[in-house]
Amino acid sequence: MAPRIVILPSQTRSPALRVAVIALAAALSACQSVETEYYDAGGTTVEQAFRSVGRHGPDRGRAIGQTEVAMSMDFWTLESDTDCRIVKAEVNLELKVILPRWTELDKTDAANRANLKNLAKYVKDHEHTHVQIAKRFQRQIQRDVNRIPPAKTCKIVENEARKVFRQGMRVHDSAQIQFDANTS
């Protein structure tokens, strides 16, 4: 998603209004939402359950669980006669966790039931780690954008904010891929 930007030029705003807008921007906080979605996976054996995951699971059955991450950024700038600076930046995070729901646990024997429950717990814990990685990068990217120094024009500040956001997302994506590589 593209960043949304609010520019407050000093020439058209009264000092009192600028202070009020800065206070409002400071009071706003980044948005986080986590949605959990389940898909049904049948089977009375682990092998049957994996075949069901192949038919019904996320990523066209190539995954047992999945976490979808969407980040966007809002930031407010304040332009003065001499420079422009970021008043506040927020990185918004939307997460969707997709997990299996075993539909035939009551029809399976104790050993398969225990294996499927353990697998479900492992998948849930694995996806929870993806959520934690995303939240960590949300905070880091937000800090990095808020630390951008003032520049001569708002266009320079906006471009730097976009650059910092894109770079943070690249590092985030790499961290998510690395986590999967280390746990598979």
pLDDT in tens, 156-169: 999 999 999 999 99
Per residue in 33-57, is it b (16+ CB within 10 Å) or e — as a string? eeeeeebebbbbeeeebeebbeebb
pLDDT in tens, 118-138: 999 999 999 999 999 999 999
**Smallest Cα–Cα separation from 138: which of 8, 5, 29?**
29
In a domain, 77, yes or no: no
In a domain, 128, yes or no: yes
Residue 105: give the domain boundaries.
30-71+90-183
Q: Indicate the pLDDT class of residue 61, thresholds 50, 70 and 90.
A: confident
In a domain, 3, yes or no: no
CA 150 to chain centre: 27
pLDDT of residue 29: 54
Strand pairing report for 66-79 and 4-9: parallel
In a domain, 95, yes or no: yes
In a domain, 80, yes or no: no
In a domain, 58, yes or no: yes
Tell whether the model's pLDDT for residue 1 goes beyond 70: no
In a domain, 84, yes or no: no
Spatial distance between the Cα atoms of 41 and 37, rounded to a whole number of angstroms: 13
Overall domain count for the chain? 1
Spatial distance between the Cα atoms of 172 and 164, rounded to a whole number of angstroms: 12
In the numeric block, which tokens belong to residue 31?
Answer: 């948005």
In the numeric block, which tokens belong to residue 123?
Answer: 């998948």
Spatial distance between the Cα atoms of 82 and 120, rounded to a whole number of angstroms: 58
Cβ atoms of residues 139 and 72 within 8 Å:
no
pLDDT in tens, 88-113: 999 999 999 999 999 999 999 999 99
What's this model's pTM, rounded to 2 decimal places?
0.82
In a domain, 49, yes or no: yes
Cβ atoms of residues 71 and 93 within 8 Å:
yes
